[in-house]
């Protein structure tokens, strides 16, 4: 592409309002990898006392259960009604929250067997959720560049934070995880994970997992098959996966 065409296409992208993409990135260190026998549409991933819980999306296919890392089995514990699209998960010390996309509902579940305890009304799009145990608040995302800080019991909004990098808003913040006093997030439809400073919303670090995703050699062009799902293990170790990915990686984000 010559310089003129390049500027023309950049201008077109700008006119079309394509969000600013995340700049610069580190690669990740892979510690281990585990299979998922029957790939699912992963929307939420969370470690609860050494067990890995996974929530899926799609209407009629939204489930929640344990991933057995030894066998690769997804042990489904519960299923959402067909008209709910499951989204992010987060565990407080007392229960697990499961979000829905556009159904204005968030579900509270028990930590030991994921039984449904309560469904509460929630206004707006539900994407990611992360419990900040230090401040005792839940952070949520809705596909924009804005994160919302909420009461962990009622999900009532307390404050908002705009995610930026070099003064540009970073939109499509998706699955969230709180760790190391920061928020780690997938950026929807990218292979990138960003670490967000929760005081000022600035992106502190970016990791690009494109090399790992390319090793999976997907042959179809399913645009929904994207990196998604982050669960904190310890320190800088995380489990990460994607929607319809046959694998969960244990990685170090440092």
Candidate residues 188, 207, 245, 249; the one interacting with ligand DDQ per rule CB under 6 A:
188
Per-residue binder mask for ligand DDQ (CB under 6 A), 37-56, x = binder? ------x-------------
Q: Is position 224 an interface residue for ligand DDQ (rule: CB under 6 A)?
A: yes
Instruction: Give CA–CA dist 42/48, Å, rounded.
Output: 17
| For ligand DDQ, the closer CB: 191 or 202 | 191
Beta-carbon count within 10 A of 145 CB: 20
Q: Is position 84 an interface residue for ligand DDQ (rule: CB under 6 A)?
A: no
Tell me which residues in 168-187 interact with ligand DDQ (CB under 6 A).
174
Q: Is position 83 an interface residue for ligand DDQ (rule: CB under 6 A)?
A: no
Instruction: Give CA–CA dist 154/101, Å, rounded.
Output: 18
Maximum separation of any 2 CA atoms in the chain, in Å: 60
| Contact indicator for 245, 225 with CB cutoff of 8 Å | yes
Helix (H) or strand (E) holding 210: helix 210-214
| For ligand DDQ, the closer CB: 82 or 224 | 224
Tell me which residues in 2-41 interact with ligand DDQ (CB under 6 A).
none
| Contact indicator for 120, 109 with CB cutoff of 8 Å | no
Q: How far is the CB of 188 from ligand DDQ (least distance, A)?
A: 5
Q: Is position 101 an interface residue for ligand DDQ (rule: CB under 6 A)?
A: yes
Which residue matches tokens 């390049």?
6
Q: Is position 144 an interface residue for ligand DDQ (rule: CB under 6 A)?
A: no
Q: Classify the C-alpha dihedral 73-188-106-197 as positive or negative.
A: positive
Residue 211 C-alpha from the chain's centroid:
19
Q: Is position 238 an interface residue for ligand DDQ (rule: CB under 6 A)?
A: no
Q: Is position 127 an interface residue for ligand DDQ (rule: CB under 6 A)?
A: yes
Instruction: Give CA–CA dist 121/112, Å, rounded.
Output: 24
Q: How far is the CB of 55 from ligand DDQ (least distance, A)?
A: 11
Query: Which residues have CB under 8 Å from 25's CB, separation 6+?
Result: 192, 206, 207, 208
| For ligand DDQ, the closer CB: 69 or 84 | 84
Site residues for ligand DDQ per CB under 6 A: 43, 57, 87, 101, 127, 143, 174, 188, 224
């Amino acid at each position: 592409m010559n310089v003129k065409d390049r500027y023309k296409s950049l201008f077109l992208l700008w006119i079309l309002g394509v969000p600013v993409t995340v700049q610069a990135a580190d690669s990740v260190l892979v510690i281990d990898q585990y299979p998922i026998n029957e790939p699912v549409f992963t929307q939420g991933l969370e470690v609860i006392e050494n067990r890995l819980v996974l929530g899926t999306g799609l209407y009629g296919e939204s489930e929640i259960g344990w991933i057995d890392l030894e066998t690769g089995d997804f042990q489904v514990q519960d299923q959402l009604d067909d008209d709910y699209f499951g989204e992010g998960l987060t565990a407080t010390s007392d229960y697990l929250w499961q979000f829905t996309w556009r159904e204005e509902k968030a579900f509270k579940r028990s930590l030991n067997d994921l039984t449904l305890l309560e469904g509460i009304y929630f206004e707006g799009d539900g994407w990611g959720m992360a419990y900040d145990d230090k401040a005792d608040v839940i952070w949520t995302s809705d596909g924009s560049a804005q994160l919302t800080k909420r009461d962990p019991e009622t999900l009532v909004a307390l404050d908002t934070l705009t995610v930026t990098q070099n003064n540009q808003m970073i939109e499509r913040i998706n699955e969230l995880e709180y760790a190391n006093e920061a928020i780690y997030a997938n950026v929807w439809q990218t292979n990138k994970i960003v670490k967000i400073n929760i005081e000022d919303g600035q992106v502190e670090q970016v990791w690009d997992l494109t090399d790992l995703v390319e090793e999976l050699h997907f042959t179809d062009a399913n645009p929904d098959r994207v990196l998604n799902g982050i669960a904190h293990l310890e320190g800088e170790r995380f489990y990460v996966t994607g929607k319809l990915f046959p694998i969960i990686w244990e990685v170090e984000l440092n």
